[in-house]
Amino acid sequence: MVDASQVAELRRFVEQLKLNPSILHDPSLVFFKEYLRSLGAQVPKIEKTERDYEDKAETKPSFSPKHDDDDDDIMESDVELDNSDVVEPDNEPPQPMGDPTAEVTDENRDDAQSEKSKAMEAISDGRFDEAIEHLTKAVMLNPTSAILYATRASVFLKVKKPNAAIRDANVALQFNSDSAKGYKSRGMAKAMLGQWEEAAADLHVASKLDYDEEIGTMLKKVEPNAKRIEEHRRKYQRLRKEKELQRAERERRKQQEAQEREAQAALNDGEVISIHSTSELEAKTKAAKKASRLLILYFTATWCGPCRYMSPLYSNLATQHSRVVFLKVDIDKANDVAASWNISSVPTFCFIRDGKEVDKVVGADKGSLEQKIAQHSSSK
């Protein structure tokens, strides 16, 4: 049974194809397009411009990369390829194939070999259609012979029918995964269709299995195109990666700015904020950390004479250093905060960066306070 969700997804894809059949010409769907053609389906051609018909033998791009709306302003260009030997795909009904489950007798094998011999004679005389007829009779008699399918594939290449050649080569490779002739025929057929990377892959395998001069000549034709496509793909993969990093950096900055705006709303720039509880202090400390700001915690008391001297100065410093968070704690009104900081005398000024105490000034030392603020506010 096919999964219901997969069926639904396939149905959606088919609906998209009905609306826009040109989707089939996306390079990533080559395998699907070939399958449709193997069933005898007619795949609509891409409309060509007047310029395309001026000189069919000239060098034109055949690899049209996929565009992604999420790629910001990357406009991917076509790849300049040598398509002078590319042919129009053959869309005829699939050729007859033998029944692989049929019993093959010695007589069948002998008769198939006889038909193959007739085919080879026809090939030497240039009678390719006749050769295909003989080879078709041969595969019907011996339907599991890889060499018969591979041989018929090579004849289909001579009459410029690459899709038929691919179908035969695929069957040959099913029966013999080491069929050099199967890989060679399929690679040459892929080259005829301008499927350069797949062609290069098959021809390289064929070359390793049984090299001949024809394979070498084809590789010299195919490899430059395949290499250009690969270089093009890597180039745009690199550009997309760079765009992804830029998007990530923009997102990081947006989040940082949002956190800073949130922190600024809670930190009252240029003012001294009174703290009445540990929870209140924790909230301000977190806000200062998010905004990457220095925080000063001033412990004071109403009965403290030196504090009355330092408080106006502290307020004045707050207006001068708007990027520094100035907090004030009355130890009698928020003794839990004072206790948690082990405050034994006032005035005491604790300097906090990223939630940790980095310095301290004890006593009404105006110069030290100003010097410490200047030092730590510029340290990050």
DSSP 255-319: HHHHHHHHHHHHH-TTSEEEE-SHHHHHHHHHHHHHTT--EEEEEE-TT-HHHHHHHHHHHHHHH
> Is 5 part of a structural domain of the chain?
no
Same domain, 112 and 219: yes
Same domain, 32 and 128: no
Convert the pLDDT of each residue in 347-358 to its tens digit: 999 999 999 999
Same domain, 203 and 280: no
> Is 276 part of a structural domain of the chain?
yes
Tokens (6 digits) for 31: 């395998």
Count CB neighbours of 84 within 10 A: 12
- Spot the catalytic one: 307, 317, 334, 343: 307
Same domain, 224 and 310: no
What pLDDT sits at residue 360?
A: 96
What pLDDT sits at residue 76?
A: 64
What residues in the chain have per-residue pLDDT under 70? 1-5, 7, 27, 45-77, 263, 379-380
CATH of the domain at 210: 1.25.40.10
Which of residues 200, 229, 258 is at a domain's end? 229
> Is 369 part of a structural domain of the chain?
yes
- Spot the catalytic one: 304, 334, 343, 352: 304
Tokens (6 digits) for 130: 């006749």
Q: Residue 326 in 3-state DSSP?
A: strand
> Is 129 part of a structural domain of the chain?
yes
- Give the sign of the dihedral formed by CA 121, CA 127, CA 128, CA 132: negative
> Is 92 part of a structural domain of the chain?
no
Tokens (6 digits) for 370: 């100003």
> Is 336 part of a structural domain of the chain?
yes
- Note if 350 is an active site residue: no
What pLDDT sits at residue 69?
A: 46
What pLDDT sits at residue 75?
A: 64
Same domain, 305 and 358: yes
Q: How far, in Å, CA of 11 to CA of 16, rounded?
A: 9
Q: How far, in Å, CA of 225 to CA of 18, rounded?
A: 32
How many separate domains does the chain show? 3
> Is 176 part of a structural domain of the chain?
yes
CATH of the domain at 289: 3.40.30.10
Same domain, 315 and 221: no
Pairing of strands 348-353, 356-362: antiparallel
Q: How far, in Å, CA of 118 to CA of 114, rounded?
A: 6
Q: How far, in Å, CA of 374 to CA of 33, rounded?
A: 70
What pLDDT sits at residue 259?
A: 73
DSSP line for 31-67: HHHHHHHHTT--PPPPP--GGGGT-TTS----B----
Convert the pLDDT of each residue in 92-102 to its tens digit: 999 999 899 99
What is the extent of the structural domain holding 362? 272-377
What pLDDT sits at residue 58?
A: 36
> Is 119 part of a structural domain of the chain?
yes
